[in-house]
Structure formats: C-alpha cells, structure tokens
Amino acid sequence: MALEERLKDHSLVQKLKAGDDEAYDCLCTEYSGKMYRLVCRLAGSDDADDLVQEAFMQIYKSMSSFRGDCSISTWVYRITTNVCQDYLRRKSRRSWRHLFSLDWLKAETNRELPSTDLEPHEQAEVRDDMDKLRLAIAALPPEQKAVLVLHDLEQLTYQEVADVLGIVVGTVKSRLFYARKKVRSSFEGGVQK
C-alpha cells in the first residue's frame, strides 16, 4: 500500500475512532457499492440491503478494536465476508438451496450484456452461457465461492484475499484452483447437455 493511502487510511480511522459522523458518512459512501456487490455475489440479493447494513453496524461497533495491521478496505471486506458467511450458515440450517436463486445473477447481467453486434440467437447463447457460469459459481462451497468471488470478480490480490478471509496465501491458491476446476467442470457439463 502506498504511503499516501496509508496516511489517508490512518486519518480516516482516527476520525472514525473519535466518533466523527462525517468520517462514517465518507466510509459509507466509499464502500457501500462495493459491499453491496460483494454481498450479492456471496449471499444473493434477497437480503443484500440488510446484510450491508449489518456489516456497517459491525464496522461501527468494532472500529475501536481496529488495529491498523491491514488497510481499512481489507478490514471492510473481511467484516462483510464474515457477515455473509454467518448468514449462509444460518440459512443452510433451513434450506441452503434457497440461497442460489437467480436474483443475484440477474443483477450482474446488465453489466455483461452481449454485444449488439451479435445476431439475436448468438446473444441468447451468450446469455445462456453466462447464466450457466453463474449457477456453477453459486453452487460452490462457501469457502471456495468466497475466494473465487474476491479474487476473480472483485480482483483482489492473493494476499488481499488471504487477509480478508484470515487464511494463508497457499490456502487461497488451493481453494481458487479447486473452485475454478469445479466451475469449469460444472459449466462444461451444462454446455454439453
């Protein structure tokens, strides 16, 4: 992390610890979109607003315990990921299949619409492939899904993913390898049908 970013983080953290409402608003403005996208990718969009709020509440409550041994963004991602994993554990006790609805997948569709240069049947094929790929990702075990989403979709580095999840880089790479293998296998199996 660059010195300028560390100083900015330090200044923001000091203001947050002092109870500065403007600093908290700044944090919310900076991270709410990123957190919402992460929540939708990890836990689905049904309760995304509530989960983002829950993450912000945990950030607010635990700000005094922030030690500064990682960047504020890593800390925010860690809390948000933990909130999602707790949510998934609670939901899995009831019915884990419910979590893998297409709602969160559709939220991504607008960003990835096929080119209008394609013929209508080609656009439909691309959309089908995107849906199959998203379903394959949604079906991953939570640990593998978190690594894949954080690294491949959120574009965090291996080290950042390790920091967010509280695991070592080797575990990140291993989980990512198996997640990609399962997605590829599932996707290719769906394409062949």
CA-to-CA dists, residue 109 to 8, 90, 113, 127, 129, angstroms: 34, 28, 6, 8, 12
Q: 129 Cβ partners below 8 Å, 6+ apart?
A: 187, 191
pLDDT band at 191 (very low <50, low <70, confident <90, very high): very low
Structural domains of the chain in order of their starting residue, each with its CATH number: 1-94 (1.10.1740.10), 113-193 (1.10.10.10)
Q: Give the whole-number percent of the chain exceeding pLDDT 70.
A: 78
For the stretch 66-107, pLDDT in tens is 888 888 999 999 999 999 988 888 776 544 333 333 344 444
- Token pair listed for 31: 């991270």
Q: Which long-range contacts (CB under 8 A, 24 or more apart) does 14-23 make?
A: 16/63, 16/66, 17/63, 17/64, 17/66
Average pLDDT taken over every residue of the chain: 80
More confident residue, 128 or 162: 162
Which pLDDT does position 74 carry in this prediction?
A: 92
Cα dihedral across residues 165, 166, 170, 174: positive or negative: negative
Instruction: Using a cut of 0.85, tell me whether the model's pTM lies above it.
Output: no
